[in-house]
Amino acid sequence: MFARNPLPLVGLRRRYDVFLEVNDTAVAHDGYSRDEFLRMRISDIQPPEDVPRLEEMVTSIADGTGQGVRRHAGRRRHRLKDSSWK
């Protein structure tokens, strides 16, 4: 379900915003190779003004409350490999 999902999906390491896994759709959509994704943090591709909100969401996932997921669900802008924002 993850690898062949038609939506771009990523997995993150708990307490950090490090990519653990990305599916083929995310690679095709964003332009980064799988290896490039796995060397980055998700905050590396977020607009600087969105990083505090991202950190809050990642922390709430890691501590088990999950409140950040519900509060910040939805698509966010992020930088693609070609430096454009989507």
pLDDT at 14: 63
Given this model, what pLDDT does residue 65 score?
A: 59
Q: pLDDT at position 51, please?
A: 85
One digit per residue, pLDDT tens: the chain, 86 residues? 888 888 888 777 766 678 889 999 999 999 999 999 999 988 899 999 988 887 777 677 666 655 545 555 556 789 999 999 98
Rounded distance, CA 69 to CA 79, Å?
21
- Quick one: pLDDT at residue 68? 47
pLDDT at 61: 65
Strands (E), the chain: 10-12, 19-22
Closest alpha carbon to 2 in 28, 22, 29, 18: 22
